[in-house]
Chain A
Amino acid sequence: QSALTQPRSVSGSPGQSVTISCTGTSSNVGRYNYVSWYQQHPGKAPRLIIYDVINRPSGVPDRFSGSKSGSTASLTISGLQAEDEADYYCCTYAGNYARVFGTGTKVAVL
């Protein structure tokens, strides 16, 4: 399966909102409500910030939110903070235990 498509980069000033899209197909993102999002700072392991499209694990700030429409999922960061500068990856279940990651998006805080 091909990687999910994400914008290469997005940026915003502190306090602003940014949205990252994640486009798949009707066989993966469009079929299953199992999209998760990961934040990765340089040199660190990824961190789960959204699971099952819209749910936040405990400890994740509520400025992170997820949604999905058709074959495109989205992550919105509201009230952008300096520590949100990182790479973000979406991931979907694709059937038969398979997962597919997105291409990754670098978020810059101006």
Chain B
Amino acid sequence: AQSVTQPDIHITVSEGASLELRCNYSYGATPYLFWYVQSPGQGLQLLLKYFSGDTLVQGIKGFEAEFKRSQSSFNLRKPSVHWSDAAEYFCAAGTSGTYKYIFGTGTRLKVLA
């Protein structure tokens, strides 16, 4: 069955430290991959997406993600975290020909001053 796994429910980092949020997928073929961010009580904002081509994808707010086919992963990274990055982050996957995304359960990021 298709699935998206975010193994870390909570992550705490200090402001200015680097960040990596993990996402693993299980699909029959390479899916389209997305990272969204959700601030408390808000909708989801698209950070970046991968369809094909360059496996390192740049997004908004200084985020990037790397697609690794051999590891079935699409991890999100930021070199220096800001306090405003505290939020919940969702990885999602979809495939051509379907309207359905599968979302991970999310990783809640806490940033220490």
Q: Do A and B come from one complex?
A: no
A: residues with CB less than 8 A from B are none
